[in-house]
Amino acid sequence: MNLHLRIWRQLKSTAPGEFRDYQVKNIAPDLSFLEMLDALNEDLSAQGEPPVAFEHDCREGICGSCGFLINGVAHGGQRGTTVCQLSMRFFKDGDRLILEPWRAAAFPVIRDLVVDRSAFDRIVQAGGFISAPTGSAPDANAILVPKEAADTSFDAAACIGCGACVAACPNAAAMLFTAAKLTHLNQLPQGQPQRDHRSLSMVAAMSREGFGSCTNHGECEAVCPKEIPLEFIGDMNRDLIRASWRRRREPLPVPSAESPSNRGS
């Protein structure tokens, strides 16, 4: 099939960007979307134009590296699919496709379709873990986890951190991502001791990074390649209220690199 592509080109965060038009020809339907871009890049390279930068790694829909908007839809619109797993079978000969990077203040563009998602790591640093220093664990079966809790926890932990939820949200909120992290850990018996701190701290970090708030559009759920459900945001809000109520007499902890509360030595 032949396609008309309009792609956002930007050399670096501080440089101005622009859309440029490209044609790709003779694309086999078995190829993935990224393999189609590989073919475009081979052509560009041969013509002396720098290839389009895009992130990708596993190409199996699990590493979360890839992702950009195709005609305004994060990962291109096939339900539960990352762009690396999006097959060219999904498109028609002659389609016009607009490719642009995630757009969010908290995700600055690095080059072309590549953005900086390190804000997600800083949300995790704020409390997205269970403190279990190596070697201190009890026998695995000493901790009983109800199957329903383990399954829900797993469903939330399936988040790949790609950022599609932020890109799809009209407010550029990171609620679905943060909610997924919280539901993963807050469901489990091991996660209870740090539950309140985790909920308060991660939500605070989310605001600090410049993500917007949730106004229940549900666009995040619609584009999530792992189909993380919106109801986890409800769980997060309940956890937040619970934690605020239980801690109302204590000042909110604000983690920083200067307060090494978790240092092992």
CA-to-CA distance for 81 and 87, rounded, in angstroms?
10
Nearer CB in complex with other proteins: 105/150: 150
Binding of other proteins at residue 244 (CB under 8 A)?
no
Please report how close the Cβ of residue 216 comes to other proteins at its closest, in angstroms. Answer: 27
Interface residue with other proteins among 89, 103, 238, 246 (CB under 8 A) is: 89
In this structure, the dihedral spanned by the alpha carbons of residues 79, 81, 87 and 88, taken in order and rounded to 10 degrees, is 60
Work out whether 196 is an interface residue with other proteins (CB under 8 A): no
Indicate whether 59 belongs to the interface with other proteins (CB under 8 A).
yes
240, 264, 236, 237: which is closest to 252 by C-alpha? 240
Closest distance between other proteins and the C-beta of residue 213, in Å? 24
Q: In sequence order, which ranges of 24-168 are alpha helices (DSSP H)? A: 33-47, 118-125, 147-157, 164-168
190 contacts other proteins (rule: CB under 8 A): yes
Tokens of 30: 């078995």
Residue 230 C-beta: closest distance to other proteins, Å: 20
Please list every residue from 203 through 242 that binds other proteins, using CB under 8 A.
Answer: none
> H or E element: which one contains 185?
helix 175-186
Is 14 a residue that touches other proteins (CB under 8 A)?
Answer: no
Compute CA distances 18 → 10, 99, 100, 160, whole Å: 7, 11, 10, 29
* The binder of other proteins chosen from 69, 81, 165, 195 (CB under 8 A): 81
63 binds other proteins per the rule CB under 8 A: yes
**Judged by CB, which is closer to other proteins: 60, or 248?**
60
3-class state of residue 175 by DSSP: helix
* x-or-dash string of contact with other proteins, 105-124, rule CB under 8 A: -----xx--x-xxx-xx--x
Taking the complex as a whole, how short is the minimal distance between the CB of residue 217 and other proteins, in angstroms?
Answer: 26
* Shortest distance, position 20 Cβ to other proteins, whole Å: 15
- Write the CB contacts of 100 (distance below 8 Å, at least 6 apart in sequence): 7, 8, 19, 68, 69, 113
The answer to whether 18 contacts other proteins (rule: CB under 8 A) is no
**CA–CA separation, 239 vs 236, rounded Å?**
5
